[in-house]
Structure 1
Amino acid sequence: MESSRATTRRHLPTSPFAPRTAAPIKTFEIGDRVSHDREGIGRISAVEGTHAVVVDLGGGRLLRVMSPFDKLHTL
């Protein structure tokens, strides 16, 4: 008996279901105004590649948000 391997399933053209597509990666620039679902409104103060950003929430509070940026939205 052969062991099963993890493979991706191919999409059949006759299928009534839409193929899965990856969500676009959010990108941010320094100075962008953003809203965090839990922490509130802030401004991007540093970008660490595509994997993390630092948000200045005011009053000396900084928040480092790792990707995926599900809870971070641009204003």
Structure 2
Amino acid sequence: MTKPPAPKRYLPTSPFKAPPTPPPKQFALSDLVTHDMYGLGRVTGVEEGVAVLVDFGSTQQRILSPYTKMTKL
């Protein structure tokens, strides 16, 4: 089993431009979301910039930022 490559680090003094960082994902109450592991859910709570509480029907989960496995529908 191989590991995925580590992301490249860019030094502030580098003459090459670092790729732009994507804006952080924002979620609001009652947003429909899908999660890679838990499936379809609805946002029931928001801790600004830290985590969101999502009701997936059979379970409630606190998903921490940066929400890489979760997308808004």
TM bin, normalised by shorter chain, reads: 0.7 to 0.9
When the two structures are aligned, how many residues end up with a matched partner? Answer: 64
Q: Give the CA deviation at 1:20.
A: 1.9
3-state DSSP class of the match of 1:41?
strand
1:14-60 per-residue CA deviation (whole Å, 9 max, x = no partner) reads x6xx532212100000000000001100000000111100000113x
Give 4+ residue runs of structure 1 displaced > 2 Å after superposition.
7-12
What TM-score, normalized to structure 1?
0.74
Aligned-residue sequence identity (percent) comes to 34
Counterpart residue identity of residue 73, structure 1: T
Instruction: Report the counterpart of residue 23 of structure 2 in structure 1.
Output: 24
Larger radius of gyration: 1
Give me the whole-angstrom Cα distance separating, in 2, the residues matched to 1:49 and 1:39.
Answer: 21
Gap runs ≥5 in structure 1: 1-6
Gap runs ≥5 in structure 2: 1-9
Instruction: Report the counterpart of residue 51 of structure 1 in structure 2.
Output: 50
| RMSD of aligned Cα (Å) | 1.9
Instruction: Report the counterpart of residue 9 of structure 1 in structure 2.
Output: 12
Residues 52-67 of structure 1 mapped to structure 2, 5 A cutoff: 52-59=51-58, 61-67=59-65
Give me the whole-angstrom Cα distance separating, in 2, the residues matched to 1:42 and 1:32.
Answer: 8
